[in-house]
Chain A
Amino acid sequence: MTPIAMDTGALVRGLYCILPEMVVIGTAILVLLADLLLPEEGKKRLCHLSVAGVAAAILSALWLGPGKIEGFSGMIVHDGMGLFFTLTILAAALLTLMMATGYSEWEGTQKGEFYALILLSTSGMLFMAEGTDLMTVFLGLETLSIPIYCLVGFHRGRMRSLEGAMKYFLLGAFSSGFFLYGIALMYAAAGTTRIPVIASMMRDARLYGNPVFLAGIGLLLVGFAFKVSLVPFHMWTPDAYEGAPTLVTAFMGAAVKAAAFAALLRVVLLTFPAILPAMSGVLWVLAALTMTVGNFSALLQNNMKRMLAYSSIAHAGYILVGLTAGGVAGGQAVLFYVLVYAFMNLGAFGVIMLVAQREDDGYDIDNFAGIGFRYPVLGGLLSLFLVSLAGIPPTAGFVGKFYLFGAAVRSGYVGLAVLGVLNSAVSVYYYLRPVVSMYMAPAPEGIPVPRPPRSAFSFALCASAAAVLLLGVMPASALEFAERSVLSLLM
């Protein structure tokens, strides 16, 4: 065998293209090293270091800009859509790490590996969002999942944390198997795993009529459906969300979902139009089931974390409505909603983290009785985030839902849009329950005193609130960015 010539130029270009990922990974390694050197009382510096690293990654992503840069012979691409999701994921990671300033102190996660795991998982998400090869997507998926398994079980002494981790791991690995097997079948039929190449071959009836390929794409969809928790692949979600340390739950809801939707969107927008009749039926049913089961299950929850877990399932259903609609309008709506969801979800979890005094029963809805008037800033913030999740104007949640359902109507899925609007009408009920409890239930004796937030924590909450309001009142530029990103993908 002849040695393969080393193309230094290509390597440098490839590394340039994954600059944000490298910054994040570099920070993770730095954090682990610093953990060895820092004394016990200086551990909070680790958190500051991570925040700085993610901020640097955001800057590097912005520096790369929205232009298309391919790396590693097309296995990964930094394009407009990649940039949009990179920024969304990094913003979620940044807010999570800012909240960690307080949370780690209270819940004993002030450890180097905690931050390193969050950062490594973030890097996996970025790979997934920018991967244009199914293998890159799979590697990204695993790189993000394995640290998350650890993070879910990070509270080693808490039975529920371990149980959540075990369930999430077993089912996650199981679904990864489907995912990988699906890729293998698609590879068998198409001879390649490069998404754009597969997309260009889709016009050929020999490919989209090939049962091996179709089974492959079906299994791939199962893998994605698991990660974004679509019904009936959602059953791990409430357990893992409830068991995980709340900060991790918030991170999972915001960032993992964004990454998985990024990759799914790439696959769907590029390859599905050719096999639309079969696929739109599947997506339609999944979206309808997910919204309905998610919302109705959330109605009866008394634990805030669990309720928000079911709410995140329902939101995956709303986003899937946009995917079903497809096209530029659908893609734009999905991008925008993923961004908005990251903020409102992180914000809501951030507030309940402060109010609940302890994991597990601290998140009972009764614990929120009467805090509205006593702690007006917290009460107001939580109400804002819940109102946005319910999709009531003038918050970002409303604009996002309007775009999702509007795209569905435009593509002729009026029935799905009706179902979506009906579902969000139902959802108001459970989003309202905490608000009612906060403002209209008499405060019990010994009303819980929320934890004093650190300044970075307060900043993260206020930034989320500002984003939710700003994207609700002046969403034009974000929507335009989303539209250009989708166009850059489809060109």
Chain B
Amino acid sequence: MVSGVLDYLWLVPAFPLLGVILNGVLALIAERPFLLKEAGLPPPGGSHGHPSRGNSHATEAPGSHGSGASGPHSAPVYRNVVAFLAPGAVGASFVVALLCVLSLAARPPEGRTFVQILFPWIQSGSFLAPVGFQLDPLSSVMALVVTGVGFLIHVYSVGYMSHERAFARYFVYLNLFMFAMLMLVLANNYLLMFVGWEGVGLCSYLLIGYWYEKQSASDAGKKAFIVNRIGDFGFLLGVFLIFWTFGSVSFTDVFARIPLLRDSGVLTAGMATAITLLLFLGATGKSAQIPLYVWLPDAMEGPTPVSALIHAATMVTAGVYMVARSSALFLLSPDAMSVVAVIGAATAIFSATIGICQTDIKRVLAYSTVSQLGYMFLACGVGAFAAGIFHLMTHAFFKALLFLGSGSVIHALSGEQDMRKMGGVRRYLPVTFVTMFAATLAISGIPGLSGFFSKDEILWQSFSSPHGSPALWFVGALAAGITAFYMFRLVFLTFYGGSRMDPEVEKHVHESPWTMTVPLSILAVLSVAGGWVGIPASLGGDNRFEEWLAPVFRSVAAAGAHGAATGAHPSVSLEFGLMGISVGVALAGIGIAYFLYRLRTSKPAEIARRVPALYDLVYHKYYVDEIYEWAVVRRVVDGSVWLWQMFDALFIDGIVNGIADGVRSAGDRVRRLQAGIVGGYAFSLLAGAVLLVGYILYRSMVP
């Protein structure tokens, strides 16, 4: 088969990798000596082997010092190169991805799966995990979102990070992230997906801790990494079980073998539940769902474009993507589906309530992200995978925009993140205000904007799908109302009212440079119009988005036991009714926010005073961090102290003493036995040997 442009699919992840290499070289030879000089340290010079060649070139690096005198922020030449290379690499990969998707779209719907095997990675006997990419409607949506939004955020970063010293290093990480993320979404098997999965985790860790001088930043990085390991452990075990059951880890093989294995009884519902719940554990880690969501709000310690890219638009949606990708497996297990739906709904409402009381602008958005991810899982859990992916896409647009907008505000206010010290900013930042307002309308679900279509599709499906229930719909709708409330609270506190800024800060407030406002504007257009590809039939659209994804999920539905994944629409009038209710709830949320934060601004504090216990509970995020600290972290530390000392204390002092006391009476000999440390080691050896030989004899002799 002539694949034409699709044969260049490998270029999509290759471009960011090239960016990593080139920027890495620049970071090493140009930026490092410059940073060292600024820090007042002599460059390591010839005393050090490898990089000495680079140094001799770079210490001369010119612009860096000469112009350094004119101002701390004047950019050396290499920064311009980086500023061009890093977004350029991602832009190029967006273009290639777009061409590939167009060429894929030219095929008939059934033929829209393209697999490109680069080389065998792990191979033994019948087991094969290649380095291979798969482009189908699902991964093409992801690839376009990742590269498209990623490109805009790269451009934005050029402006946002312009005052940072370690400029090249930042873009090395960011490009590396793009590479890992594209590996994740384009992988054609679970194992390679896991490589990307770990890779994005690593980059996230590096970028959260980018300002590692800040203790909180490096702590947050560690927390994210460790919490994610719990999820990764689930994912990896799930992959083991898949391999054990199906004898393969590639998507096409696994899904193709489902009917056969189910009929032959190898693949029981119990096994399917075990596999999917383990995979879902992985998803809760990466996508910040209950109970593993705690790392995401802390991850806001990283630079704001990173929050937008990794912790809102792309990486955190990897879990949703993985669940959607495995939809054929999930559909085999109604139990797992219910778990996904309930966890999703619970996370949506739980974190939405936390969002009400946060005062840090980025933390509000972080909890909002957790909540929106909950929606996506809710969609997957009720079998509406297409709706989940649709919301993933629109959310990527408006949440990236919200983060970038808040970044623009923070940038303008010299790093201030506390909303209590903002207010009235819209006069200074008109572009930021308009774009952010559009995004807020979108996330609140105002009809006509992207968020409305995707969120409404989820709510409708959670009501009407065979896996759904009115209770799930109710929780979802309530969370939608709360979302509208806290988002407008954010807008009112930040952009309206009188200024509460420090006078010193207010003097310097300025609209951001074009590298920042242009991406904002593009994202604003997408936030408004991005949903028009999925207008449901009841509103006169033809839901092209669902149609595009249909081949992926239709084959799934055929393989699964539960018929079509998307429930039949029982009644248009019911759909309109529910739509009306959810819009009404959203408007009510906005209304309350307007009342509390525009009309009666003293009221919020009064309410907080009225119910101090509840306010405290919500303000402190339900004390989940504290509970985890007490229940998990403490226990692990205690446990390892105990294990560590077990041999020292228990064996050498305890058992040795005990046995010695019992067996020997002569105190002198007891002292000798316990005193020698080598003696203790020898005792452990002897005791082990006795136990080992004894056990072997026992097991073999006693049937």
Contact = CB atoms under 8 A, between A and B. Distances in A.
Q: Tell me, yes or no, whether A and B come into direct contact in the complex with CB atoms closer than 8 A.
A: yes
Interface string A222-256: 10011000001101100000000000000000000
B678 A278 contact: no
Interface string B658-697: 0000000000000000000010111011011100110111
A343 interface: no
B240 A406 contact: yes
Nearest to A479: B124
B28 A300 contact: no
A174 B700 contact: no
Nearest to B205: A432
Interface stretch (B195-203, B342-350, B454-462): B195-203
Contact of A174 (B51, B685, B699): B685
Nearest to B694: A218
Contact of A440 (B120, B131, B212, B233): B212
Contacts of B644: 296-297, 299-300
Interface stretch (A20-28, A191-199, A360-368, A416-424): A416-424
Contacts of A178: 689
Contact of A425 (B50, B125, B233): B233
Contact of B36 (A166, A374, A453): A374
Given A393-B195, A439-B209, A440-B212, A421 B233 contact: yes
A380 to B, nearest CB: 9
Contacts of A281: 695, 699
Contacts of B209: 439-440
A452 interface: yes
A65 interface: no
A89 to B, nearest CB: 23
Contact of B678 (A170, A277, A374, A425): A170
Contacts of B213: 442
B376 to A, nearest CB: 26
B122 A233 contact: no
Given A222-B692, A299-B644, A432-B225, A475 B699 contact: no
A215 B123 contact: no
A410 interface: yes
B202 A392 contact: yes
B680 to A, nearest CB: 8
Contact of B696 (A235, A278, A455): A278
Given A211-B701, A299-B640, A393-B198, A373 B35 contact: yes
Contacts of A16: none
Contacts of A293: 643, 646-647
Contacts of B195: 393-394, 398
Contact of B643 (A292, A387, A399): A292
Interface in B122-146: 122-125, 131
A402 B685 contact: no
Interface string B218-231: 10011001100110
Given A293-B643, A299-B644, A449-B44, A480 B684 contact: no
B692 A221 contact: yes
Contacts of A329: 124
Contacts of B36: 374
Given A219-B689, A409-B244, A440-B218, A449 B47 contact: yes
B685 A208 contact: no
Contacts of B243: 406, 409
Interface in A6-34: none
A287 B213 CA distance: 40
A473 interface: yes
A458 interface: yes
Interface string B427-469: 0000000000000000000000000000000000000000000
A426 B212 CA distance: 23
Contacts of B41: 374, 447
Contact of B194 (A214, A233, A393): A393
B122 A399 contact: yes
Contacts of A406: 240, 243
B222 A432 contact: yes
Contacts of B692: 218, 221-222, 225, 282
B121 interface: yes
Contacts of B122: 399, 402-403, 475-476, 479
B681 A171 contact: yes
Given A374-B44, A475-B122, A296 B687 contact: no
Nearest to A462: B50
B206 to A, nearest CB: 8
A453 B643 CA distance: 38
A180 interface: no
A232 B680 CA distance: 11
Grouping DSSP codes into helix (H, G, I), strand (E, B) and loop, the B interface class, with mixed when no group exceeds half, is helix
A235 B688 CA distance: 12
Nearest to B212: A440
B265 interface: no
Nearest to B47: A452
B463 to A, nearest CB: 38
A441 B218 CA distance: 8
B641 interface: yes
Contacts of B166: 373
Interface in A144-197: 166-167, 170-171, 174-175, 178
Contacts of A297: 640, 643-644
Given A171-B685, A222-B689, A440 B50 contact: no
B119 A474 contact: yes
B236 A373 contact: no
Contact of A436 (B222, B636, B641, B699): B222
Contact of A235 (B222, B230, B684): B684
A296 B237 contact: no
B647 A232 contact: yes
Nearest to B166: A373
A219 B684 CA distance: 14
Nearest to B46: A452
B48 interface: yes
A106 interface: no
Nearest to A473: B121
A440 B202 CA distance: 14
A167 B681 contact: yes
B640 A235 contact: no
Contacts of B71: none
Contacts of B49: 452-453, 455, 458
Contacts of A232: 647, 651, 684-685, 687-688
B48 A450 contact: yes
A393 B199 contact: yes
Contacts of B44: 374-375, 449
Nearest to B222: A436
A377 interface: yes
A429 B32 contact: no
B639 interface: yes
Interface of B: 28, 32, 35-36, 41, 44, 47-51, 119-125, 131, 166, 169, 191, 194-195, 198-199, 202, 206, 209, 212-213, 218, 221-222, 225-226, 229-230, 232-233, 236-237, 240-241, 243-244, 636, 639-641, 643-644, 646-647, 651, 678, 680-682, 684-685, 687-689, 692-693, 695-697, 699-701
Given A226-B685, A278-B699, A375-B48, 8 more contacts: A167-B678, A232-B651, A293-B643, A296-B640, A329-B124, A394-B199, A418-B237, A447-B41
5 contacts: A209-B700, A300-B640, A417-B240, A439-B206, A458-B49
Interface of A: 166-167, 170-171, 174-175, 178, 208-209, 211, 214-215, 217-219, 221-222, 225-226, 232-233, 235-236, 275, 277-279, 281-282, 292-293, 296-297, 299-300, 329, 332, 373-377, 387, 392-394, 398-399, 402-403, 405-406, 409-410, 417-418, 421-422, 425-426, 428-429, 432, 436, 439-442, 447, 449-450, 452-453, 455, 458, 473-476, 479-480, 483
* Ranked 10 nearest A-B pairs via Cβ: A218-B693, A278-B699, A440-B212, A440-B218, A296-B643, A393-B195, A235-B681, A232-B688, A296-B640, A222-B689
